[in-house]
Structure 1
Amino acid sequence: MIPFASQRGGGGDLATHLQNEADNEQVEIAHIRGAVAHDLHGAFAEWELQAHCLTKCQKYLYSLSINPWTKVNGQMSRDQYMDYIDRVEQKLGLKNQPRAVVFHIKEGREHAHVVWSRIDAEQGKAVQLSFDREKLMKVTREFARDHDLILPDGYEPDQKEKNKQNSLYEQHQQNQTGRTKEERMTEITQAWRRADSAKGFVNALADMGYILAQGDRPYVVVDLHGHTSALPRMIDDKSVRARDVAAFLKYDYPSELLPTVDEARDIAAKQRAEFKQHSDLEKWAKKYEDLKQAHRERRKPLEAEGPKLAERIAREKAALIQKQDAEGKFLEQKIASEEQAIADKRARFNPQGLAAFLGRVSGVEFARKKLHEYQDKKRHAGQAKEFEALSNAHKRETRLQQRVHQALEHDIERRLKNLAKVEAREISALDAKFKREQSRDIQKQFEGSEALNIREHFREAAGQVRGGREESTGGARDKPDLAAQFEKAAGANQEKARTEAEGKKDLPNLTAEFDKASGADQEDGDTGGDDDNAPSHDNNRSSRPRRSRRPRRGRDRGR
C-alpha cells in the first residue's frame, strides 16, 4: 500500500488525466458523490464553482492515489479499497464531502484514484488539512496491520530512512532511456572511482553517452537524449563534494570553457540523427488507427444523443403548446358559460308590462341597470386577471422548458468538448510512447558495438568546443612566460636609472649657488644694522586696524 496525496486545483485537467485510456488498459469510474453531473468534468466543474462562489480557496481538491504493493501483498479487493478510503476521509475530516473514485488498470496492475472536494457548502469554507501526510502514514500502518499487509521501507515510525521517490523529470528520463536513476548513478560512480585523470573520467562519461557541460551549476552532464543532471549529485559517494569534483576537473576542463547545455544538446541531437530508426512504423500506424477507431466508437453513443434530444425537445414543445391551448380554450369556455348563465338569469327576472312601466317611472329599472353594469365590470376584471394569470403561467412554463432544453443541449456539447480533450490527451500519450520506444532503441544502438564512432564524437565534443572558444577569445588558456617578462622589466628599469643619472649632471647645484650668494651679502654688511628706509612702528601705529568691540546688549539696555 503506497499512497500519494496532494491538494490541487485544475479540476478539468485532472478529469482528463483520470479518463486517459491510452496510458491505462482499463478506466472505471466507480462512483461520484455530491454532484449533479454524472461525469468527472461536470462534477469537478461544480466543485470549482462552489470554491469560487463560497470561498477564496484555490486548491479546492484533495487527490489521493492508492497503489497496492502487488509484488509482495498481491492485488487488493474492492472492499479493501473502500475500507481504506473510508478510513482516510474519517481521519482527514473529509467525511460526507463530495468525492469521486476511479479505478485504473495499467500494465496489469490495478490502482485507485480518489478525489475529494475540500469545500463545505453548508459552512461556506474549505476543510483544513493539516499534517495530512503524517495522518496518511498512520492510517496506512493501521490498515496494513488489520489486513495483514507488508509495507515498504520507510513507512514504519522507527525507520529513519524515507521512501524516496523519483521526481517527474527523473521518471520521464527513466521512461525515455529505459534506465533508472540508480543505474545511471552507479555507472557514473564507477567511472569516477576508476578514473586516474580528468581526461580519463570525461572519456568514460562519453563512452556511456554523457557530455560534460556547464549550466546553472559548474559541471553538469547531458545524456544522449538531451537530459541534464548535476555531475556531483550523480556520484553516489557521500565523501565526494561538489568542490572535489570542481578541483579534479578545473585544470583540464575549466567550467567557463565547457560547452553550454544548449550546445551539448545540439551535439547530442546531431549524433541521434545518425542512428537508424528500427521502429516498426506499420505497427505504430496501426495503433494510431486503432486509437482513432476507438475514439469514433466511444463518440457514437454521445453523438447519437443529439438527434434523440432534438426529437425529445420538439415533442415536449408540441406537448406544452397543446396543453397551453387546451387550458386557454377551457378558460374561454368557462367564461362564456358564466356569461350565458348570468344573461339567462337576468332574462328570467326581467319585469314585463306594468311592472316594467312602474320600474321605469319609479327609477327601479335605472338602479337595476347600474347594478348590472357594476357587476359586469367587476366580473370582467376578474376574468381579465384569470387570462393574465394563465398567460403568465404559460410564459413561465415556456421559459422553464427552454432552459431545461438549453441545459440538455449544453450538457451534450460540454461532454463532447471534454471528450475531445480526453482524445487529445490519449493521442499525446501514444506519441510519447512512440518517442519513448525510439529513444530506447537509440540507447540500445549506442550501447552496442556499432556506435564506436559516435562515442568518439562524444569524447571530442567538449574538447572541440573548448578549442573553438579559446581561438575566439584569443587563447584564454595560453600561459605567459613570466621569467622573460621579469628580465625584460628589470633591464628596462636599469636603463631608466642610468639615463636619469646622466641627466642629473647637466643640472645646476642650486644649494651651492645659494650658499655662495649668502656669503657675499655678509661681507658687504647688509645684515648688520637696521635699514634706514624701514618704516617706523610709531609712525605706522595709526595705520593698524583697530579691533572693534561689540557692545554688550544687556549692559547697554540696563543703562
Structure 2
Amino acid sequence: MIVKSSQREGSKELAKHLNSGENETVCVVGSRGVLNETINGALEEFEAISRGSNCQKHLFHVSISPSPDVHMNNEGWEKTWLLHEEINKLKGHFFIEVEHIKNGRAHRHRVYERVNYETGKAVNLSWTRLKNERLGRTMEVMLGHPITQGKFNKSVIKHLKKSSFKYVAARIEELGIADRSPRVTRYTHYESQQVKRFDLDAARSHIADAWAQSDSPQAFKAALRAQGYELADGDKAGVPVAIDRDGHVIPIQRSINVHRKLGGLPTIKKKEFMQKIKYPLPDLDFVRESQMDKQHLLTSSQQADQKEDLKMQTTAQEVNIPPSGKIKRSKATTIEKQSDKDKLLTAEYGYDFNADLSRFWHVDREGDGSLRLKNKAGVIVDRGDLIEVRTTGEQLPTAAAVVQIAKLKGWDEIEVEGTDEFKKAVYSLSLQNKIKITLVNEHDRLLYAEVKAEYDQRQLEDDNHISVANTISKSIDKNKMDEFMKNIEEEDQKSKEQKKKTGPSNH
C-alpha cells in the first residue's frame, strides 16, 4: 500500500488533477461537511472556509494505492481512512473522497480542509512521510495485504512498538523486511510527468554511463557534455543536476542509482558520488537558458557551423599559426547578445569568468556542445581536457584567453603544443598566473628557460624601480623643502598686500 500526501494552496490545479481524463473512471465516493458534492464545488467551499484563517496551504491532499495484487473492499477503505484521521488528528474535518480507476486498478484520493470549521484553526501536520509509512504497514498487516518494502520501515517499527500496534511491528520484523535495502522507486510523481515529455530512461542511461567511465570531476563533466548535458546546482542545495538541450532537469545521483538498481548493480553513496562533482556549480536557471539557446543554435545555424568547422579543423598534435598580424576589437554587441554570452560563460565556468572573455570574444557552441570563442585574433574551442587554438594574427590575445580559461577550469599544470611563438606567449602568461608547465622535450625546456629568464629580469627591474623610488623619496633635502614652503608663504603674503592697495571691488 502506497500512501502519499501533500499540503496545497490552489484548488484549481488540484481539481484539474482529480478530474483527469487519463483515468478510466472518476467517481466521488464520499464526503463530509460539503453541500456541493462535486470536486470543483467542494474545493470552492473549502477555499471559502479558509478565508477566515491565516492558513495559506489549507488543503491536505492524500492518495492511497493498494497493492496491485489485492482488491480492497469498502470496509477496508473505511478502516484505512479512520486510522489515517486518527494518526493526523483530522477527525471531524471536512473532506471529499474520489476514486480513480486506471489500467483496471483502483486508488483513492481525499482532500481535507485543514481549517476546523468551528474553531477557525488549522490542524498542524508534520512528519507526514513517516506517518504515511506507518499507516501503510499497519493496514497491510491488518488487512492481510503483501508488506511493502518501505524506505522508513525501521523507523515505523520503532514508533509502532510504542503504540497499541505492537503486533504490527512484530509481524514486520518476523518477515525481515526492515533489514532489507529499500527498493528504488523507478519514477516519482514528478518524474512520471517528465516521462510523458521526454525519454527519461535514456537520459538516466547516458548519465550513468558518463559517471562510470569518468575518474575525475573534469572527466565526468566532459563525458556529460559529450552526451549533450550540462552540470548545474539544483533547486535543492547540494543536489547536482544534469540539464539536457531541451531544458529538462534530471537529478544526477538518483538517475545513476535507479539505472544501477534496475541493472542489478549496487547503488552509490553520497560520499562516493561527490568525488566526481566539483563545486561551485553554475546556477540552474542560467544553465537551462544556455542549453535552450544552444539548441536554437544547433537547429538554426547548422550550415554555418559546418562551414566554420571546415575553416578550423585543428588537432591536438598540430596547431597552425599564420604570421603575426594586428588584432582589433570585435564590433560591439547588443545588450541582449552580451547577456547571452555571459550566460554561456557562466554555465561553463561559473560567475568568476574574466569580463574580457565576454567583451572581446564572440561566444557560442559547436555541434558537439563544445564552447567556442572567436574574434579576429583566432578561434578557441574548449573540449573539456583539451583546449584547441587557431590564431590568425598576434599570439598574445589568444594566449591570454587560453590561460584565463585554464585558470577558470582549475588547471594547475598544462601542456602546450604549437609554434614557438605561441608557446612562448603561453609560457610567459602562465608564469604570471602561477600555472605550471609540463615540458615534454629538450626544445620546449630551452624555450621555457628563455622565457623564464626574461620574466625574472622584468621582475628584478620592477623591484629595482620600486627601490629607487623609495630611496629618492627618503633622500629629499629637508632644507630645500623648508625653503620651498617659505617661498609659498611669501607669495601668499604679497597677494594679500596687493589686494589691500587696490581696495575692494565695486559691484
TM-score after normalising by structure 2: 0.49
Which one has a bigger Cα radius of gyration? 1
- The structure richer in strand per residue is 2
